[in-house]
A and B are shown apart, each in its own frame.
Chain A
Amino acid sequence: MNIHEYQAKALFADFGIPVTKGQPARSPDEFKAALAELPDGPVVVKSQIHAGGRGKGTFKDGYKGGVKICKDRAEALDAAKRMLHNVLVTHQTGEAGRRVKTVYFNEPCDIAKEYYLAILLDRATSRPIIIASTEGGVEIEKVAEETPEKITRVTIDPACGLQPFHKRKIAYGLGFTEKEDLKQLDVLLTGLYRLYWEKDASLAEINPLVKTTDGRIIALDAKVGFDENALFRHPDIRALRDLDEEDPKEVEASKHGLSYIALDGNIACLVNGAGLAMATMDIIKHFGGNPANFLDVGGGASEEAVTEAFRIILSDKQVEGILVNIFGGIMSCQRIAKGIIAAAKTVSIDVPLVVRLEGNEVEEGKKLLSESGLAITPADSLKDAAEKVVKRVEEARKG
């Protein structure tokens, strides 16, 4: 789960990580009051969306730049008015872009040098890792590829936690040697690690981290993501979720315990198990089709959840055929069959439907479907199912 920059900055402040002074505003009425909280003079106005590349982005109405440095409050007010409720397109949002519902006013600072700092899970060691680089404000992947020597990595034993030597290693890696700098970095790293660990973050990233001309080390941007499996113990974090930043179909699916991701193809799939769901997409492509979605109904899906799954995949108007692929381990084929029959009664399934069932209670499931009178093409194997659905869709197109 991701949060907005202004929310992340508020968390940073709670954990003692220095940030520039900032105020969010959600409506033009709030602009003046928010600006009054900041010192008079230049203001940075930042669009709040869950995507990178805001500064270089362009709004749908042609207004350029989702982040503006304004010389005074009047200019900031103008910029905020242009941004609010406007749709910002960046290299990460795709063509549809994202609607800006919050603008964030920030006090600017004079930057002497930019750095990169992040904490995330290192899968190779199953431990938290701190990644720091002397190249701030650019993508870390690019730095890793072109100048890996500029990156310092420190993995942390989770049972011992962050130790002073870890912090020294990062500081020296970033080229800091002055006592005052080390002291500032110590506080900042302690806060960032505590935030990462105590709040079950999956990523805590500062890009750029800056040293100002007056010697302060500050987080100029803040990006924090959280482990969704741990939200049960963080109601405060869960409350920061912005559903408008997520695909409405994915949100609806997750309410029913379904894992759904929209893709741009025309053959929908409904599968149990994430690996099999991916493999089903792959085999559709292999036989010349194009998957419309990833959909894992999981092991414990109820009949209602299966009906909901059909409703969601059919709400995608590009869908021209459906492939149901179930290999029941936890899942009973009988339950899936009942779900399909119930779905057909409430949602009109007007595209070819190919069903492959295997696993627990497979005979009962197949019998239910064949006696249902529904126009279902049964398939014996995954290959058979994929070939059939691609063929049926082609036939339907030809009429």
Chain B
Amino acid sequence: MAVLVGKDTRVVGQGITGTFGSLHANRNIDYGTNYVAAVTPGKGGQRFEDKVPIFNTVRDAVEKEGANTSVVFVPPPFAADSILEAIDAGIELIICITEGIPVRDMALVKDALVKSKTRLIGPNCPGIMTPGECNIGIMPGYIAKPGKVGVVSRSGTLTYEAMYQLTQLGHGQSTCIGIGGDPINGTSHTDAIRLFNEDPATEAIIMIGEIGGTAEEEAAAYIKEHVKKPVAAFIAGTTAPPGRRMGHAGAIVSGGSGGADAKIKALKDAGIAVAPTPSDIAETLLSVYKG
């Protein structure tokens, strides 16, 4: 398998009995993703779509169905609790789609993650997909195809943009990871790039960043030092005015840091091909990677 998820991934859906969660869980199942359990406190003993057993706790889903990966669709006030429950149950990988979790809650989640073996992707992210094998979250399946390019992005719809451009040019993806647009997230650009770098099934990498924070600069430093595979990048927000939060809680240029120009410069200095527009992401990669 590519990275993190594949054919053997056994998913437990937290909060998939709600309208939003059930819509996307059904799409994931149609794609071929193996949902082995659902967790909705109070609905234990019932079945999701007459098939997937529902449990009251994540621990039950782990013990009875061997779930190793969780997807969280739980509303923001309760999402951190769901993540903490999954960490406590020993889930290896948690994907949190929920947008709008308070920063204070995430600070405590981050602390719990550091003290555990669990990896979190998100929150406020589109999920993760290994095309042809496993799709967890809200990414449209048809825009992807199996292949050798790893894609990591803070933005959901820009991830789709890059995936679809690759697919249209005949190049598939190993795994696509949406790490989310919040100021505190579980998996950083650097974490994802390290995974792609160590994955034999991934030959090239696309990284999509945006204004705010310094995660892209850190990834650039890591790539410069460790990555021999071809990398292309795009940074959104060149035209964003300072001091304004551009939708994502994390996308804000403040106190002179987090601007697009500094990020683009750091990427170029690390030898990464930077796409001039969001429409050229795949072509930019193919200028340095022949496949």
Are A and B a genuine interacting pair, yes or no?
A: yes
Check: B146 CB closer than 8 A to any chain A CB: no
- Contact among A121, A233, A272 with B184 in the assembled complex (CB-CB below 8 Å): A121
CB of A284 to closest CB in B, whole Å:
8
- Contact among A126, A286, A329 with B139 in the assembled complex (CB-CB below 8 Å): A329
Residues on B with beta carbons closer than 8 Å to the beta carbon of A202: 103
A264-279, CB < 8 A from B: 271-279
* Alpha-carbon distance between A129 and B198 when the two chains are bound, in angstroms: 34
Check: A36 CB closer than 8 A to any chain B CB: no
* Alpha-carbon distance between A233 and B105 when the two chains are bound, in angstroms: 12
> By the criterion CB–CB under 8 Å, are B161 and A382 in contact?
yes
Interface residues on A, range: 35 or more
> By the criterion CB–CB under 8 Å, are B155 and A273 in contact?
yes
> By the criterion CB–CB under 8 Å, are B104 and A197 in contact?
yes
Produce 1/0 per residue, B49-86, CB < 8 A to A.
00000000000000000000000000011000000000
Residues on B with beta carbons closer than 8 Å to the beta carbon of A274: 155, 181, 210, 246-248, 251
* Alpha-carbon distance between A259 and B100 when the two chains are bound, in angstroms: 13
Interface centre among A197, A280, A284 (most CB of B within 10 A): A280
Produce 1/0 per residue, B97-122, CB < 8 A to A.
00011111111101110000000000
Residues on B with beta carbons closer than 8 Å to the beta carbon of A124: 214
Residues on B with beta carbons closer than 8 Å to the beta carbon of A159: 108, 111-112
> By the criterion CB–CB under 8 Å, are B157 and A273 in contact?
yes
* Alpha-carbon distance between A278 and B239 when the two chains are bound, in angstroms: 8
Residue of chain B at shortest CB distance from A361: B140
B238-291, CB < 8 A from A: 238-241, 244, 246-251, 255-256, 276-280
> By the criterion CB–CB under 8 Å, are A328 and B140 in contact?
yes
> By the criterion CB–CB under 8 Å, are B155 and A126 in contact?
no
CB of B65 to closest CB in A, whole Å:
27
Produce 1/0 per residue, A244-279, CB < 8 A to B.
000000000000000101010000000111111111
Residues on A with beta carbons closer than 8 Å to the beta carbon of B208: 275
CB of A39 to closest CB in B, whole Å:
38
Q: Contacts A197-B104, A229-B101, A275-B208: A283 and B279 contacting too (C-beta < 8 A)?
A: yes
> By the criterion CB–CB under 8 Å, are B104 and A296 in contact?
no
Check: B153 CB closer than 8 A to any chain A CB: yes
Check: B236 CB closer than 8 A to any chain A CB: yes
> By the criterion CB–CB under 8 Å, are A359 and B140 in contact?
yes
> By the criterion CB–CB under 8 Å, are B157 and A327 in contact?
yes
Interface centre among B126, B236, B256 (most CB of A within 10 A): B236
Residue of chain B at shortest CB distance from A157: B111
Check: B90 CB closer than 8 A to any chain A CB: no
* Alpha-carbon distance between A288 and B289 when the two chains are bound, in angstroms: 30
CB of B9 to closest CB in A, whole Å:
20
* Alpha-carbon distance between A136 and B194 when the two chains are bound, in angstroms: 42
Produce 1/0 per residue, A119-151, CB < 8 A to B.
001011011100000000000110011000000
Residues on B with beta carbons closer than 8 Å to the beta carbon of A272: 157
B201-215, CB < 8 A from A: 208, 210-211, 213-214
- Given A121-B183, A232-B76, A281-B240, 12 additional A-B pairs, CB 8 A: A121-B184, A123-B250, A124-B214, A126-B110, A141-B255, A261-B246, A274-B251, A275-B154, A280-B278, A285-B238, A329-B139, A329-B156
- 21 sample A-B contacts, Cβ–Cβ < 8 Å, listed by A number: A123-B213, A126-B106, A126-B111, A141-B255, A158-B111, A200-B104, A272-B157, A275-B157, A275-B247, A275-B248, A276-B155, A276-B157, A278-B211, A278-B246, A279-B155, A279-B237, A279-B278, A281-B240, A282-B278, A285-B239, A300-B20
Q: Which residues of A contact B (CB under 8 A)?
A: 121, 123-124, 126-128, 140-141, 144-145, 157-159, 197, 200, 202, 227, 229-230, 232-233, 259, 261, 263, 271-286, 291, 294, 296, 299-300, 327-330, 358-360, 381-384, 386
